[in-house]
């Protein structure tokens, strides 16, 4: 695949009977906007550039998109639900390929861009399914799945997790935009 083609995972988060108040709709809309921005930034990036580190820490665009899929899976599908299920991508990759999450290691992944984009879309869709049936005011059921109990002490509801996912996605969106400029000179692909 010479250039990656991207379409947003969904036009808006899945709609359920919960989270229909203005604040919830606004927060979920901001989350979706950040997800869409990530995909706009990587759209059209040549395949070989996905595996090229451009900063001293060594992360790649491929690794960053893999990480963002993991963020979706960890926070929405593990921590919110309290259900420990491997993502389809992790099952497919196997432990020997991607290994255990190491927050100190550079984010790298050798998957082709089309597979990474499909994985990210799928993780976002699965997260939206959780959010369609879980009120933002609900307490997360799987705080024990996060490796840092000191960190999880501050998490009182799903709203906190949505805000954290917005924050994490926006931060890495900025990283991806810088990487894109360094890789092929494209600018102003994300953000408002």
Provide mean pLDDT across the span 144-159.
91
Q: How far is the C-alpha of 144 from the C-alpha of 62, rounded, in Å?
A: 29
CA angle 158, 42, 25 (to 5 degrees): 30
Looking at residue 9, what is its pLDDT? 43
Cβ 107 vs Cβ 59: under 8 Å: yes
* Local confidence band at 104 (pLDDT 50, 70, 90 cut-offs): confident
Looking at residue 123, what is its pLDDT? 97
Is pLDDT of 75 > 50?
yes
Q: How far is the C-alpha of 122 from the C-alpha of 84, rounded, in Å?
A: 17
Q: DSSP per residue over 131-191, as a string?
A: HTTS-TTSPPS-GGGSS-HHHHTT--SHHHHHHHHHHHHHHHHHHHHHHHHHHH-----S-
Is pLDDT of 106 > 50?
yes
For the ranges 17-21, 166-170, 180-184, the lowest mean pLDDT is seen at: 17-21
Q: How far is the C-alpha of 112 from the C-alpha of 60, rounded, in Å?
A: 12
pTM of the model as a whole: 0.85
């Amino acid at each position: 695949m010479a250039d990656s083609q991207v379409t947003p995972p969904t036009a808006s988060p899945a709609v359920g009977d919960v989270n229909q108040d203005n604040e919830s709709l606004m927060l979920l809309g901001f989350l979706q906007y950040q997800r869409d921005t990530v995909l706009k930034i990587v759209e059209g990036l040549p395949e070989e550039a996905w595996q090229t580190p451009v900063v001293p820490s060594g992360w790649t665009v491929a690794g960053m998109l893999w990480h963002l899929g993991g963020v979706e899976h960890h926070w929405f599908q593990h921590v919110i639900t309290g259900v420990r299920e491997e993502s389809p991508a992790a099952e497919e990759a196997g432990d020997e390929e991607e290994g255990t999450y190491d927050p100190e290691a550079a984010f790298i992944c050798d998957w082709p861009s089309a597979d990474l984009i499909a994985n990210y879309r799928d993780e976002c869709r699965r997260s939206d399914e959780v959010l369609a049936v879980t009120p933002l005011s609900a307490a997360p059921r799987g705080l024990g799945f996060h490796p840092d109990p000191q960190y999880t002490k501050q998490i009182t509801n799903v709203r906190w997790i949505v805000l954290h996912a917005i924050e994490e996605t926006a931060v890495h969106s900025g990283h991806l935009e810088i990487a894109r400029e360094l890789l092929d000179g494209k600018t102003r692909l994300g953000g408002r």
